[in-house]
Structure 1
Amino acid sequence: MSRREQLGQVLRFALVGVVNTGTFYALYLLMHAWMPYFAAYTAAFVLAMVGSFFMNTYFTYRTRPTWKKFLLFPLTNVTNYVVQSAGLYALVSWAGLDTRIAPLVAALAAIPFTFLLSRRILVPGAARDAGPEPARSGPSRL
């Protein structure tokens, strides 16, 4: 994969993140009007994650969705949460960053991790393509 293609994936991933965040928030506000806030939050989170799966599958990575990918995709959200939480703690506790700014910085720092994991889950052979070419023995297959 060329650098241009990789950059395109990163930009599409960022765009999906912006759209997904807006979708989540709109769903939350809509559902919160008629259900308790935590139920609205949870429902909006799940619906936004399903939407994120399909947007990333079709738009970001241009691959086909499968049940296996769908079931593995929540790992990207867990990774995002862990990286953001650790980053938030480090930025506030160790770096002394303002608690109003630190979550935004931590979220930005989590993007590469989330991108790489989502790519690995959604794109067949992505891990193989990212590393050095494996040594081949015998005739190559096309």
Structure 2
Amino acid sequence: MLFGTWRLDRTSDGRFVLPSAWHAVTSAGLTITRGFEPCLQLFPLATWQPLAQRVSSLPLTAAAARMLRRLLFSAAAQLVPDAEACVAIPPRLLAYANLAAGAVAVGMVSYVELWSPECLAQGECSS
């Protein structure tokens, strides 16, 4: 399970180190995408695959379903933590969530939200 709040600093090569408490859940790989607010969402593969199937089964004729697909899938990327549990987040996603200096990881049980410290302190940044 993914819970708790963790400050993630960037390594000298720009990667983020995931909390050791999450290694068992994240070591098989993750999918990262934009969040609904200006944050990022990290999904373990076991969570992402059923979610992607449910969203993909929504009717193409529904505008809200198409918008959700665009939000989740257009920016999605696969991440595989290295031996030190570090992940490299694509630059376009770092820019979207304003994570240039660091991030705060918030465990949401089945997924993780990555926020800029400033946005999380405010409750939400405008997108």
Q: TM-score, normalised by structure 1?
A: 0.26
Greater RCO structure (CA 8 Å; 6+ sep): 2
Rg (Cα) greater in structure:
1
> Which structure's residues are more often helix, by fraction?
1
> Which structure's residues are more often strand, by fraction?
2
